[in-house]
Structure 1
């Protein structure tokens, strides 16, 4: 990651005190310093409101900008006090303008009405109750943000290491982010009993498709081969495989749909079969899959 030892320690501290709790709770993140008068005036307000909202899943975390300069720099803190609301490891609101109890409560009420924050004090929730987090990860995955989805699923794996769906989501997210070797490592490291869970079948199918990832420059060669011989179905299938493995879902689907339209029976329906395999790997409930299935139906049935 290019971090020195002190920076890595700072990241680890921040992860334990802020990121991990924010996976289920709403964290009020307060950047402050000993010499900051406004910070000292705001502290009692933050502490009082956080205590009153603790049963709603709100906790307070404080970052001394003099002691944690690296973390403050990552958040581009330019003045203090700076206060954020954190959920799922991401800033979801800037609370800095709220300087009174009523203002802060108004912000928190609005945020809590929109996010699946688990009520109760930190640690009260059952470790296996990660369904809302899994839903959040799947939603981000469906939006096509592999990096953010991988971060969410990685946190869920830490909370519930025996949850097969969390590992499956992490594998699929890593693949979407182009991190194929890491995705394979996640599957390889699973306990045999957990690895046998059918929840991981989709992740394995996605990894199998990603194994065709082309080397640098190879994708251009595949495109050139198709351009030189547009009727060469083998070349078109190879291009579709390469496009999908490289993360270009649309390009792969368009190529395969064109192949089905040209000759749906070619190679015992290989183009259609590959599309169906892609659908399975991504997930039949995925919006992209639903849209592409409709396109396939149009090609097949007019």
Structure 2
């Protein structure tokens, strides 16, 4: 091995192998005379820069100046792009020629590999704070929950779980326009998250809800005629608006049992909104889903 090759190997070890112990290193083999390389380079550089906080690092290798390294990777044409992790190639990204394609590859790799990143470290740091905010919100301490979520939002803007918590705290405080503004300000990819769907459902329920100071009258109507779906629907909405989700769910379930198709399935639609607003993984939702299934399939 020539001195030139030795120097190239040492540079590769320093720039690629060592960083790949914890990072995902994208190795781009290129040359000055390569037209397609010039088209692909800006795409790779832009995407890798955007993924830097996720633990992605870009290393460009000129094949004319590093023939030995190119030979080791069996590079037969350029551009050739490999993803390297823990010293080993883990994917050939050469077919990715657009931002969307490259991001899809990187997302798949990052989901599978234990890549260290600033983003992961930050998420681990805020997880207990998010849990605190959710606990305060569940315990009815809405102002404190809002304060916690707003403070976390300053640390990690555009985080779906944080934005959802902030919006739901605002809903609990009857500040619906502000809750909608929080969600409207999110980037499109974050706005698709399931946590944001939960916040939207909470806003929709709050918009529909009409707090009733005294439910005695509507309760009497239901007692007088148990098949009065309109009265029972009004009762369920009033219970929901007053914060009694258990009884509200009971009334919606009873409506479905009596006439599941009433008003185009309005009771079921409201119940599903309630499930989504509560959180689909919540044990309470699981219990209510079982009740719904028993009614639908009995």
Q: TM-score, normalised by structure 1?
A: 0.49
Higher helix content, 1 or 2? 2
- Higher Cα Rg, which structure: 2
